[in-house]
Structure 1
């Protein structure tokens, strides 16, 4: 498709998603009061809504897309209600249905009513460009939340083949083949797995978007946040110097996160801004963890 066709397709998807918000609002008995907010990939949309005695809530609608599975788990947000000790929204109720009209006919959709996150998003595009203006207490809360999350038990079926994927991506982006032995002593933890500045709120910490939480290399959440901070050196330094990222597992987590973001360079997101820094840092890490 040429640029004009892509623009028309994106607009068609946006209008369709807005209509699905209306459908979800009716089925979940809430009243939309805010303007719709769409994700970059036009896979989901959300808006502030009124929910009777619960007051303001967030209504989200998402459309099933096989290209995102199993990275984005259909029940991720709902099952995340079981996580304790983490500052995050709670899903109050939800509803699934199949779309019965021609455009995206048969696709499954889900509407979720969840508690409204306080404050504002630190960096809506995900990548930090300047001082996030966060208090020391905010950083402490983040540390406590990630620690509580890491202690959350979760079954591990290796759905994503993380080790194999990292080996393959390192070969593609850096031209070097890591041995599986390089991962023999890696530590694993339960992670949010999509921790960037678009999923963090201020001035009170709240962590959004729990579709992807899963086991990962220990330190992976800090690794993804580091990647999204490299344009603001003081913040990147603060995250990069955390003890979790000084370990071998933390370095492999950083390498894995860097490869993940390099894989989406050129798609028009803010990630395009950090390619050079990611490649340089990845090469530096690789020189130390080869095995």
Structure 2
């Protein structure tokens, strides 16, 4: 991965800078600070996959997002260039993006400390997600077939009817958000989902902090409404599934409480 990362930098006429390298799940991705040929601060991310699996939603997510959204009025780091390579049956995609120097609000998707963000930040967040939701796409983040299977299994109720499908970032959590200016990172998995999916995702990752969960609900009135019930049930089922696999165990009890509330509704 390091060798291909260096080759990609050369191919994109960029140079990497000293600093921390950031590895994704199971070593699938490698990111590091870089600069473009003109000296612009950038971020070079390399993703790898078996050659026969190097396609589809996750593989093309960043490139598709650039075409669909651009920089979202400065709230999304623009993708500057892409370079593809194949070596010994493994495909590599390098994505050179504008560098975000602001720290994310949490090093973990799960919020472990109360987060008091100003009202303007919440207004910006809801506005950005409304703009995303109004964008047409053929990409799919959540499939009805998954909902029909997972919600009965993990919540014990039939999948609620989806009143409206909208476009979703699909991974809005605290490790993908910055403070000032607000930026939303990691557009790998975006696509259509039940209305309120991004709000429900942020709520789920905030369950350990009651004051902040109350602020999430205040910012997103779709939560707790009939229109948002399908999104809430889907996100709850998704995370309960990760708990069953041994991940996000700290959210196990709060998720079960949420599931009980959804059953009651």
Q: TM-score, normalised by structure 1?
A: 0.82
User: What is the DSSP-based 3-state SS (H/G/I as helix, E as strand, rest coil) of the residue aligned with 2:222?
Assistant: helix
2:174 matched to 1:186?
A: no
**Kindly tell me: are residues 232 and 200 of structure 1, through their superposed partners in 2, closer, same or farther at Cα, counting changes over 3 Å?**
same
Alignment of 1:136-175 (within 5 A): 136-155=119-138, 162-175=143-156
User: What is the DSSP-based 3-state SS (H/G/I as helix, E as strand, rest coil) of the residue aligned with 1:121?
Assistant: coil
How much has 1:217 moved relative to structure 2? 0.4
**Kindly tell me: are residues 256 and 161 of structure 1, through their superposed partners in 2, closer, same or farther at Cα, counting changes over 3 Å?**
closer
Aligned with residue 96 of structure 2, among 113, 121, 124: 113
Aligned with residue 197 of structure 1, among 166, 174, 196: 174
After superposition, give the CA deviation of every residue in 1:51-84 in whole Å (9 maximum; x if it has no partner): 13242101000112688985x4321101111215
2:3 matched to 1:24?
A: no
**Kindly tell me: are residues 191 and 108 of structure 1, through their superposed partners in 2, closer, same or farther at Cα, counting changes over 3 Å?**
same
2:84·2:94 contact (CA, 8 Å) conserved in 1? yes
Cα distance in 2 between the residues matched to 1:67 and 1:91: 22
**Kindly tell me: are residues 126 and 67 of structure 1, through their superposed partners in 2, closer, same or farther at Cα, counting changes over 3 Å?**
farther
How much has 1:160 moved relative to structure 2? 6.4
How much has 1:284 moved relative to structure 2? 1.2
2:61·2:190 contact (CA, 8 Å) conserved in 1? yes
How much has 1:175 moved relative to structure 2? 3.5
Cα distance in 1 between the residues matched to 2:257 and 2:53: 29
Cα distance in 2 between the residues matched to 1:118 and 1:147: 25
Number of aligned residues: 259
**Kindly tell me: are residues 267 and 57 of structure 1, through their superposed partners in 2, closer, same or farther at Cα, counting changes over 3 Å?**
farther
**Kindly tell me: are residues 167 and 69 of structure 1, through their superposed partners in 2, closer, same or farther at Cα, counting changes over 3 Å?**
farther
**Kindly tell me: are residues 167 and 219 of structure 1, through their superposed partners in 2, closer, same or farther at Cα, counting changes over 3 Å?**
same
After superposition, give the CA deviation of every residue in 1:113-159 in whole Å (9 maximum; x if it has no partner): 00112410111211101123422221111011001111111126xx5
Unaligned regions of 5+ residues in structure 1, if any?
1-16, 101-105
2:107 matched to 1:124?
A: yes
**Kindly tell me: are residues 249 and 99 of structure 1, through their superposed partners in 2, closer, same or farther at Cα, counting changes over 3 Å?**
farther
Q: TM-score, normalised by structure 2?
A: 0.89
2:54·2:91 contact (CA, 8 Å) conserved in 1? no
Alignment of 1:79-118 (within 5 A): 79-81=64-66, 82-83=68-69, 85=72, 87-100=75-88, 106-118=89-101
2:47 matched to 1:62?
A: yes
1:126·1:199 contact (CA, 8 Å) conserved in 2? yes
After superposition, give the CA deviation of every residue in 1:171-195 in whole Å (9 maximum; x if it has no partner): 222344x16xx41x51111100111
2:183 matched to 1:206?
A: yes
1:18·1:36 contact (CA, 8 Å) conserved in 2? no
Q: Please report the RMSD computed on the Cα atoms of aligned residues, expressed in angstroms.
A: 2.2
Unaligned regions of 5+ residues in structure 2, if any?
none
**Kindly tell me: are residues 265 and 19 of structure 1, through their superposed partners in 2, closer, same or farther at Cα, counting changes over 3 Å?**
farther
Match of 1:259 in 2: 237
**Kindly tell me: are residues 169 and 194 of structure 1, through their superposed partners in 2, closer, same or farther at Cα, counting changes over 3 Å?**
same
Cα distance in 1 between the residues matched to 2:169 and 2:14: 28
